[in-house]
Amino acid sequence: MAWKDGVLAEIDARIALPPVALPEAPSEAGDEYLAVRVVGQFLPGEIHVFTSSMDRGAGYRVISPFQTENRVILVDRGFVRQTRKDEARGAPGDVIVGNLLWPNEVDPSFTPDPNLETNTWFARDLPVMAKYFNSAPILVVLRRLPKGETAISPWPVNSADISNTHLQYAITWLLMALGWFGMTGYWLWRIRRGKDY
């Protein structure tokens, strides 16, 4: 647990660093959570990824293509409620600030394929989204909305979305061990009691 807490602290520190220019060839191993500042322009089109949280309720992450000087990347602009999914949204601002992310949300056994007719996706599948928009497989999750953007709520990267349930694991395994110990003791008592008769 102490190790995991240390990893999360490192991630939070990396997320909060001042933004730098987008690397020419960012990689998951070396650039995950890197804070970047990117100049360019949003292009037409959106992907809507179904999601929910306790405080926001059900809705969609809005993923849009973004044209930089030399390539198209993907930008996770934030969250909209279900009722605002199909509202027209502008493409304000020429500068975005966010963090690089390689989401790990796809389970081949359980994640449905996207429904392209309704534009409903069920995970941020970076390679598939990049192919859909013919973009580089690079995703920037906005830290804050560009100037003029009001229809979307930002959902920035943070370590709160990373599972850290080691205490619950420890309690669960302790209770299972106590249960096994109790059942074994009862079984041995029954055997001994049978011999006494």
d(C-alpha 86, C-alpha 103), whole Å: 24
**Neighbour count for residue 109 (Cβ, 10 Å):** 4
What's the burial of 160, exposed, middle or buried (CB within 10 Å: 0-12/13-18/19+)?
A: exposed
Sequence ranges of the domains in the chain = 2-158, 165-197
* pLDDT tens string 9-47: 666 777 878 999 999 999 999 999 999 999 999 999 999
Alpha helices in 27-138 (DSSP H): 28-31, 126-133
Q: Give residue 160's pLDDT band: very low, low, confident or very high (50, 70, 90).
A: low
Angle at alpha carbon of residue 33, lines to 30 and 39, rounded to 5°: 100
| Cβ 79 vs Cβ 61: under 8 Å | yes
Q: Return the C-alpha torsion angle 20, 159, 141, 25, nearest 10.
A: 50
pLDDT above 70 for 2: no
Q: What is the pTM of this model?
A: 0.77
Beta-bridge partner residues of 63: 47, 76
Which range scores top for mean pLDDT: 3-7, 54-58, 112-116, 157-161? 112-116
* pLDDT tens string 69-105: 999 999 999 999 988 888 887 766 689 999 999 999 9
Place of tokens 């598939």: 128
